[in-house]
Amino acid sequence: MARVKAKVGPTQKLIGYGILALLGLTLVWLLIQQTRFNPAVVVAQSAPLLQGWTQGASGQAPSATAALLPEVSGFTPQAPAQSCGPENLSDKINGKAELYLQAGFKEMSCRSFALAAAGGAHVEVFLYDMGSPPNAFAVFSGQRRPGSPSLALTASAYATANALFFAQGRYYVEIVADRASERLQKSLEAYATALLAKIPAEGESKDQAALFPQEGLARDTVRICTADSFSCEGLNNVLTGEYSLKAGKATAFIAARDTPKQAQAEAKRYLDFLAANGYQKVQAPAAAGGISVLVLDNSYEVVFTQDRNFAGAHDASSLEAALALAGQLRTTLKEKP
């Protein structure tokens, strides 16, 4: 019996051609994927150069900060370093640039690496030239996570689960990975050590927390506010630290000025600011002569000068806490050179 040849309609032909085309595209896609690197590496290699940024190239001198970024065994560079200045810092750290700019930012360079020892982790290193050691500490302390453990790398260093941060001289450094592990932390510290070996030994990197009385101080709260401290316009470069005392909580502050006269003028201006905002004077004990005490809604302020320092206690929860902290701070400042 002769077979009857089935007729194929136009619709069936189109469906068949479509399936063949889809299979062909799938094959091409698979071949392309086999030639590609790890996605984290591809992103680092193909990321576009941000507008206004400079990128090192063969035969081209790198920027000052880029020249300090070392190549460390185990860290495979994914692209040349990129560098920027004040005019385009916000392109890289959108939303955070103001903190750096207010603190005297000069230049930043960053570079991406793949870290084989941590399963191909993607690591970015950021090196900021802040112009001076106080400026570097200002951004270090302003970015610090509460409760983060300190590191012995420098006088100002701490770690998180996937990163480490430190200040040295006029430089502030962030080394950030895309994952967390104990092995990774050791690798990040190895890179930090290599970078520290290249950073110029200029300027003094003080332990800023050492300037305060130690009893009751939460050392990871020590900060430098570079502008408009305590919402007082023009009250700049004020070092603060938070305390938990038997009589309550309070914040100590120290503002070093060039001369005792400048410190006295600054203290008067701050007292005038407090009075203009509703604070009322409180009679200070006779034994605590030379200090001014003010209160508003159970928040106490103590202000005094010691040589060229304008200092005191801010937002104390009780008069006893304010006076106790101010007394300790005064004693400590007398003992410091």
Domains of the chain: 41-198 (3.40.1000), 208-335 (3.40.1000)
- What's the CA gap between 224 and 219, in Å, rounded? 13
pLDDT in tens, 293-317: 999 999 999 999 999 999 999 999 9
Q: What is the mean pLDDT of residues 257-269?
A: 96
Residue in this structure with the two tokens 């007394």, named with its chain if needed: 327
Task: Please say whether the beta carbons of 164 and 178 come within 8 A.
Answer: no
For residue 223, name the pLDDT band (cuts at 50, 70, 90). very high
DSSP code of residue 4: P
Helix or strand holding residue 294 (H, E): strand 292-296
Structure tokens at 282: 């409180």
pTM: 0.75
Structure tokens at 174: 């962030």
Q: What is the mean pLDDT of residues 226-244?
A: 94
- What's the CA gap between 256 and 283, in Å, rounded? 26
- What's the CA gap between 237 and 235, in Å, rounded? 7
- Name the more confident of 265 and 181: 265
